[in-house]
Structure 1
Amino acid sequence: MATTFATPNTLLGLYQPKSRTARLVSAVAVAFLGSILLTISAKINVPVWPVPVTLQTMAVAALAAGLGARMGMATIALYLAQGLAGLPVFAGAGAGLPYLMGPTGGFILSWLPMAFLIGYAADKGLSRRVVPLFAVMVGASIFGFAIGFAWLLILSGQAGWIDQSNVVMSAYKGAVEPFIVWDIVKMAFAALSVVAGWALLKRN
């Protein structure tokens, strides 16, 4: 398992090469391709303030379910490293540490534990069943919202868009409530996409 990078219960695990070197090369390639997908999903956005609407949570969920916990987290970590290095991979125009220290930072960082939770479920065989996979994705998304919301509250003292007389409700109304329904829809699409991938492979 130490050199497989993905379990046979994941889509990636079915296609791993036999040699250790080939597995490592393929894992690096998959992580880079995944980071490109995350970048593209970031650029497809509605630039509302303080948190833009993007397709990234759907991409995170689908990648984690398809790759498993280990490669899912590695892909997210590579994406974060690219952003910290100054590459224009985030939804906004900024990059680097200042961007992550902004209002969206908590949501972006929450993708690591999200990828672990969803990827772990996939490693255990849930990525072939729509309802259980969707339930795990929604649970992971709620966990991500909690981290992002806590981050917003930490920043509330210096945020002009937050009503300082009602910090908690203002942060919730501005950066959490508008995204709940959209994230449920995105998790449904992510779950259906991964399960459809299994169905396609079985048919072939």
Structure 2
Amino acid sequence: MPSLAHGAAVTATPLWRGLALTLCGAALITLGAKIQIPFWPVPMTLHTLAVFLTAAALGPRLGLAAMTAYLGAGALGLPVFSGSPERGIGLAYMVGPTGGYLLGYWLAAGLIGALAHRRKWVGQTLAMLAGLAVVYAAGLAWLANFVPARDLLAAGFTPFVLGDLVKIALACLLLSGARRWTGVAQ
């Protein structure tokens, strides 16, 4: 009969693994928010790539946990957001013009995780496109509080959609390559 200590170690292992994956996912999302690539008409970050890749790779529970940890760190004032601390940190940033996109990323993380986890690349792509629609819906709805309606698409959609589609393609390629490299079936 296994000892109580042995049983405790067995049940704790998944918790530690989940916590480690959650923190690694949150770190990847932070890194993605901080990396800026020169792009026209505005610089592009790898935030969308990191959120979507994390959600699809970790699934709905851990992908959503990673996004929640990222947003929690930002709410506490840690400089995890794109442009912080230059543009302010904490809750003030989260209720600013990009706050709807942050909410959209959180919603999309759960959706993408549920729809894309352990699917072939077609399913992953469709899941990420659905997630992107959620991000833009939440982002534009919130941005409407800061930008006149006539300028809404020009301010919050048009400059970013092409780059986001490229990031979805890259996320799917990375997932496919990682699964082939590790021998996980698609």
Q: Structure 1-normalised TM-score? A: 0.78
For 1:88, the equivalent position in structure 2 comes to: 79
Is the partner of 2:183 in helix, strand or coil? helix
**1:174 CA displacement:** 1.2
Kept after mapping to 1: 8 A contact 2:116/2:128: no
Amino acid at match of 2:95: M
For 2:149, the equivalent position in structure 1 comes to: 168
Kept after mapping to 2: 8 A contact 1:46/1:52: yes
Kept after mapping to 2: 8 A contact 1:99/1:105: yes
The alpha-carbon distance between structure 1 residues 114 and 100, as it changes in their structure 2 partners (threshold 3 A), is same
The alpha-carbon distance between structure 1 residues 110 and 52, as it changes in their structure 2 partners (threshold 3 A), is farther
**1:131 CA displacement:** 2.0
**Structure 2 residue ranges without an equivalent (≥5):** 1-8
For 1:181, the equivalent position in structure 2 comes to: 162
Any residues of structure 2 matched to 1:42-121 within 5 Å, and which? Answer: 42-45=33-36, 53-92=44-83, 93=85, 94-121=88-115
2:135 aligned to which of 120, 144, 149: 144
For 2:31, the equivalent position in structure 1 comes to: 40
The alpha-carbon distance between structure 1 residues 186 and 35, as it changes in their structure 2 partners (threshold 3 A), is same
Aligned length, in residue pairs = 171
Kept after mapping to 1: 8 A contact 2:61/2:113: yes
Q: Deviations over 1:26-70 (max 9, x none)?
A: 11111111111111111112699xx96311111111101110000
Amino acid at match of 2:91: L
For 2:5, the equivalent position in structure 1 comes to: none
For 2:4, the equivalent position in structure 1 comes to: none
Identical aligned residues as a percent? 36
The alpha-carbon distance between structure 1 residues 52 and 81, as it changes in their structure 2 partners (threshold 3 A), is farther
Runs of 4+ in 1 over 4 A off after TM superposition: none
Q: Distance in 1 between matches of 2:98 and 2:36?
A: 13
CA RMSD of aligned residues (A): 2.0
Q: Deviations over 1:78-137 (max 9, x none)?
A: 0000000010111122211100011111101111111111110134x31xx212211210
For 1:202, the equivalent position in structure 2 comes to: 183
Q: Which moved more, 1:114-123 or 1:65-74?
A: 114-123
Q: Distance in 2 between matches of 1:107 and 1:86?
A: 18
Q: Distance in 1 between matches of 2:143 and 2:38?
A: 18
**Structure 1 residue ranges without an equivalent (≥5):** 1-17, 157-161
